[in-house]
Amino acid sequence: MHGECVCDTPTCREDARERKRLYAAFLDLDKAYDILWRTGLWEALKQYGEEGRLLKAVKGLYKDSETTLKVGKEMTDWFEVQRGVGQGCPMSPWLFNIYLDRVLKEALPLFRGGAGLNNCQIQVTMFADNTVLLAESEEELK
């Protein structure tokens, strides 16, 4: 979309007129809800000040969780689930975002990229399990 801008501010319009290049790496964290490290989630919640009843309640949702799988027409034995957050649970997107925010806060200082907009540097955008890293050159994405 050369010359077009999603936002409508003088700075955005100026950037669009200058035809600045923007490079993006799209990351789809496939099965991200299934592999989330729960101990890391508990630590992330603590870092955000959730150490009381809410943390205890969330941990309770996942304590001694078990599942079984259907393979063909047969069901497997029940086994303990040690990773991930519940599919379809209304809290799962929030829990996943808390966890991913902590991971990104540790990783972003190592990332040299970013796109300048209105005197700030935007390095990443996120929605659910989709993440986009932004840079002004191909080299910055490496």
Closest CA relative to residue 118, chosen from 22, 14, 37: 14
Structure tokens at 58: 């969330």
Indicate whether this model's pTM tops 0.75. Answer: no
Structure tokens at 140: 């910055």
Sequence-ordered alpha helix ranges (H) in 48-91: 53-62
pLDDT tens per residue across all 142 residues of the chain:
344 445 555 555 565 566 677 888 888 777 888 889 999 999 999 998 988 899 999 999 999 989 899 999 999 999 999 999 988 889 988 898 899 888 888 887 777 777 776 677 778 877 767 788 888 888 887 7
DSSP string, 11-51: HHHHHHHHT---EEEEEE-TTHHHH--HHHHHHHHHHTT--
C-alpha span between 95 and 65 (Å, rounded): 17
HSE-CB for 135 with a 13 A CA cutoff: 15
